[in-house]
Structure 1
Amino acid sequence: MKYQNHNIEKSLIKGLRDGNQKSYKILFDQYYNWLCNYVYKLSKNNALSEDLVQNVFLRLWEKKSTLHITSSLRNYLFRSCHNEYLMHLRQQKKEIDLLDELKWKALFQLYQENEKLQQEEDWLKIEKAIAKLPRKCQEVFKLSRLEQKKHKEIAEILGISTKTVEIHITKALRFLKTNVSGFFF
């Protein structure tokens, strides 16, 4: 019986190599459901199983003239379906990895945009609070913190003592710490 099956397989393979559609249809009818069941056991997805098995049969027809089967036809188709399923998993993993990468890039960009907006809002709060300081205190604070001038330079620019500069800066810092949440100057 096994010898007879072997001869039938050889005949079908030869017919397939010669482009005989009847041989192809016999192969398809004989193995399609069995292969779909095998792939379904791996994937638990009927539609995917059918797609993958159809891909194997499509490639079998496309490569019929160069077909080289050294084992049984059944083993060849079995291995082909198994490999097709593995290729599907690899492709799926690549797609998931790509989606993860895109998701993290989008989240990071959103975070940066939110951070920038938050900084702008914080700066507006600071500017409003600075505007509430007495004029001289504002000038000293801006020269000190925004223009990075030393106390002695500020004293010379404004014509006041360095002690007065220190008093204005202390007053401004105290006011900002109590009126601007998260103030860090």
Structure 2
Amino acid sequence: MTMQHFSDSELLTSMATGDEAAFTEIYHRYWQQLLAIAWKHTYDESSAKEIVQEVLIKLWDRRESLEIRELSHYLATAIKFSVFKHYHQQQRRKNILHSIFRSSHSADEEKIYARLLDDYINGIVEKLPEKCRQVYKLSRMDGKTNQQIAGIMNISEKTAEAHLTKALRTIRLNLRHINMLFFL
């Protein structure tokens, strides 16, 4: 029996155990419908696709802890919340730009770039897995060493180092993307 014949609840149960085929079936089953909902609220294909991807990635990441009764309703609601979050982030960027220009008539591009870059990095950090995010913040924002972080979080120094390496790699990869956008 192929996954296409599974009910949504059967797919969710399989996905919760790490079955990628079940997730793939959910993806194919709901992609167009979710994209249509996101498009209806954003009228921007790129943003709509990004929102759908984000919702589906979160579904996979939280697969073990989610309790979903009706998958289609859950996903549609998640899309609507993500659209709201998207608008909120856009408004925040506009407010940052507006405050930069308002506070200093001689605001140069470097200040704008620095503020946007800082905001972008903070957004990446917030999307990191919880342990990576905690290690990164302790290291980069609180100035703690890997040894101090290991003591605070009750993990080995190597684990702290691995989480920090993963966080920095994720940030670096995302920064390559944003640098290309600023370049263009």
Question: How far off its partner does 1:13 sit?
Answer: 0.8
Question: How far off its partner does 1:68 sit?
Answer: 1.4
Deviations 1:69-106 (A, max 9, x none): 13x10000000011001001111111111110001112
Corresponding pairs, count: 103
From the superposition, tell whether residues 83 and 109 of structure 1 become closer, same or farther in structure 2 (CA, over 3 Å).
closer
Does 2:38 correspond to 1:39?
yes
Partners of 2:104 and 2:59 in 1: CA distance: 42
Structure 2 residue runs of 5 or longer lacking an equivalent are 1-5, 109-184
8 Å contact from structure 2 (residues 11, 22) kept in 1: yes
1:76 to 53, 66, 74: 74
From the superposition, tell whether residues 101 and 28 of structure 1 become closer, same or farther in structure 2 (CA, over 3 Å).
same
> What is the root-mean-square deviation in Å for CA atoms of aligned residues?
1.7
Q: Which runs of structure 2 are paired with 1:136-151 in the superposition (5 Å)?
A: none
Partner AA of 2:8 in structure 1: E
**Residue of structure 1 in register with 2:50 after alignment:** 51
Structure 1 residue runs of 5 or longer lacking an equivalent are 1-6, 111-185
Question: How far off its partner does 1:9 sit?
Answer: 1.2
**Residue of structure 2 in register with 1:126 after alignment:** none
Any runs of at least 4 consecutive aligned residues in structure 1 with deviations exceeding 3 A, and if so which? none
TM-score by length of 1: 0.53
Partners of 2:106 and 2:49 in 1: CA distance: 40
**Residue of structure 1 in register with 2:99 after alignment:** 101
8 Å contact from structure 2 (residues 14, 22) kept in 1: yes
**Bigger Rg over Cα:** 1
From the superposition, tell whether residues 109 and 74 of structure 1 become closer, same or farther in structure 2 (CA, over 3 Å).
closer
**Residue of structure 1 in register with 2:127 after alignment:** none
From the superposition, tell whether residues 11 and 104 of structure 1 become closer, same or farther in structure 2 (CA, over 3 Å).
same
**Residue of structure 1 in register with 2:16 after alignment:** 17
Partner AA of 1:105 in structure 2: S
Partner AA of 2:12 in structure 1: I
Deviations 1:103-131 (A, max 9, x none): 11122789xxxxxxxxxxxxxxxxxxxxx
1:92 to 86, 90, 102: 90
Question: How far off its partner does 1:30 sit?
Answer: 0.4
Partners of 1:92 and 1:46 in 2: CA distance: 16
Question: How far off its partner does 1:26 sit?
Answer: 0.5
Q: Secondary structure of the residue that 2:7 maps to in structure 1?
A: helix
From the superposition, tell whether residues 109 and 38 of structure 1 become closer, same or farther in structure 2 (CA, over 3 Å).
closer
